[in-house]
Amino acid sequence: MKIMQKTNTKKRAATATREQLILRVRDDLAKCGFFLTEPHNIRSVSFDVIARRDNQLLVLKMLSNIDSLSQGDADDLRVLSSALGASPIIVGLHSSAAELDDGILYTRFGLPIVSERSFETLMMEGVPPLVYAAPGGLYVRIDGETLRSVREAKSISLGTLAEAAGVSRKAIQMYESGMGAMVEIAARIEEFLDEPIVIPLDPFEFTTEMAANIRELEVISDANNEIFDMLREIGYLVMPTRRCPFDAFAREEELLLTGIGGDDRLVERKARVVGNLSRVTEKKSVIIIQRDSRVKAIEGTPLVSKDELRRADHSEDLMKLIARRERRPKA
């Protein structure tokens, strides 16, 4: 399989709106058997879709122009994905300079980005990109062990292969150690050896150390801070969120999606959105409301008042209360 053939797939026009892109990506995911969060229509939220299929959980953001992604948005998406144990990915149409090429993996602020066609090919056909964009050009991952074994099996010296590839002996040694190579160089090596040495890329291999990257974000308001403190007092690690339909992650033995309600209309809307996220991610959820209410749950999302939270002595007390009020439809 030649390297350059994988990058010459037909591209879609980049004139579609972001809303059209979201709809098409949702359709592709549904066809692949993913269970999707409902459209939230909240522009300030850091993600557009969360999708689950068996043990695979994805957090997706769709952008017309990938250069519009800010460091703050990327941080929020990374924290959200890390906390959920999900893989973040961005599907885009173009950068400020040009359309995104198909078959190429891009990155911004450490997040994987692919074109719409690349995403469709990956999900529908199981064909991952081979090429990634980095400063200086386009690169591929080299299977260093295969490169070395093929070279030695054919009794080709480092110097001979280096001359054929147009690089130094040191560069060949580095490729054999697993360093990436520019597309043109890898193509020359493959042609000379008459063997494939390039490793496909998995955009979902976004790796991060959970404890190092899940940081506490600034608290949005004093009212939220009071509730967060009460959660901490009964044993939760609280991670406030930004650009998210819920207000915090609360983690003890399991992850709890925690929303904080205001007026009745806001509580109802937040409960519906958080409940939907909870079903897709298979995490517990709760909305903390300011005053006691006769309504104890909204569409399966438990409501717990500040007074009830204040009376809890341990996280188990809160979880028992949530379990009694939780009547969640199965995904």
**% of the chain at pLDDT higher than 70:** 87
Q: Which residues pair with 137 in a beta bridge?
A: 134
pLDDT tens digits, 148-188: 999 999 999 999 999 999 999 999 999 999 889 999 999 99
Give the start-to-end residue ranges of the domains of the chain.
4-130, 138-199, 216-325
Predicted local distance difference test score (pLDDT) of residue 140: 94
Mean pLDDT of 211-221: 37
In this predicted structure, the answer to whether residue 113 has a pLDDT above a threshold of 70 is yes
Q: Decide whether 4-130 matches 138-199 in CATH topology.
A: no
Q: 4-130 adopts what CATH topology?
A: Trna Endonuclease; Chain: A, domain 1 (3.40.1350)
- Given CA atoms 7, 13, 14, 20 in this order, what sign does their dihedral have? negative
Phi, psi angles (nearest 5°) of residue 231: -65, -40
CATH superfamily of 138-199: lambda repressor-like DNA-binding domains (1.10.260.40)
Q: How many CB atoms lie within 10 A of CB 115?
A: 26
Maximum Cα–Cα distance across the chain: 80
Q: Are the CB atoms for 92 and 117 separated by under 8 Å?
A: no
Q: Which helix (H) or strand (E) holds 158?
A: helix 158-165
Q: What is the rounded CA–CA span in Å between residue 305 and residue 289?
A: 5
Return the higher-pLDDT residue of 229 and 11. 229
Predicted local distance difference test score (pLDDT) of residue 132: 94
Mean pLDDT of 46-51: 93
Top CATH class of 216-325 equals alpha beta
Phi-psi region of 69 (alpha: psi -120 to 50; beta: other; left: phi over 0): beta
Predicted local distance difference test score (pLDDT) of residue 15: 57
Tell me the whole-structure pTM to 2 decimals. Answer: 0.82
Predicted local distance difference test score (pLDDT) of residue 211: 31
